[in-house]
Amino acid sequence: MGKFFKELKNQSRPKTVFMEMFSYIKIFSAAILIAFVLTRCVIVNAETPTSSMENTIMTGDRYFGLRISYLFEEPQRQDIIVFKFPDDESHVFVKRIIGIPGDIVEIKNDTVYVNGERLEEPYLKEPMALGQNMVFEVPADSYFVMGDNRNISNDARYWNNTYVKKEQIIGKAMVKYYSGKVTFQVLK
C-alpha cells in the first residue's frame, strides 16, 4: 500500500508544478494587459526634453498625465497639457493653455492679455522679453499654448499651425514623479 501512495504522489507532482507555472503565466499576462490598458487609455507617461516649461517642469523631468481628463470637462486656461505638435504630429509637446476657444490673446509690452485683461502668471521663470506685439484669435475647438520659459519656448507664437486642436490633446499633465530623484509633485 505504501508503494501505491508513493507512485501516486510522484505522478501528481508534475501536474502541480505545471499548474503553478500556469498560474504565474496568468498573473504575468494579466499584469501586462492591465499596464497596456492603463498606458493606452488612462495615463500618459512623458519626459520633458527641453527647458521650455522651466521652472514648472525642468529638462529631463518625468511626469504622468491623464488621458481621460477631458472626457467630462473641457480644457481650461492655465492647464498644462500633453499634445501632438500641430506642425508634426509625430512629436509630443507639453505646454500651458493660455487661450481657449473664442479668446483673443494679445501680447503687448512683453505682457499677455486675454480678452483685454492682463493674465496673472506666477509660474513664469522670468519676465518675457519678446520685444514685439502679437494678437491671436483662438478658433472654435482649438487652444493657444505657450511654455512657462517664454524667452526660449518654441510655442504657438512661432508655429505654422498656431493652434492645438482638441483632438490633438493627449491628456492633462498632472504629477511630476522624477526630477533627478523620485519625487511626487502636483503640477499647477
C-alpha cell at 13: 507532482
Give the closest residue to 79 by CA, choosing from 153, 158, 136, 143.
143
12 is catalytic: no
Q: Which one of 69, 95, 142, 153 is the catalytic residue?
A: 95
SS (H, E, C) the chain: CHHHHHHHHHHHHHHHHHHHHHHHHHHHHHHHHHHHHHHHHHEEEEECCCCCCCCCCCCCCEEEEECCCCCCCCCCCCCEEEEECCCCCCCEEEEEEEECCCCEEEEECCEEEECCEECCCCCCCCCCCCCCCEEEECCCCEEEEECCCCCCCCCCCCCCCCCEEHHHEEEEEEEEEECCCEEEEECC
Residues belonging to the chain: 188
Q: Which one of 9, 29, 52, 90 is the catalytic residue?
A: 52
129 φ/ψ angles, rounded to the nearest 5 degrees: -130, 65
176 is catalytic: no
List active site positions. 52, 95
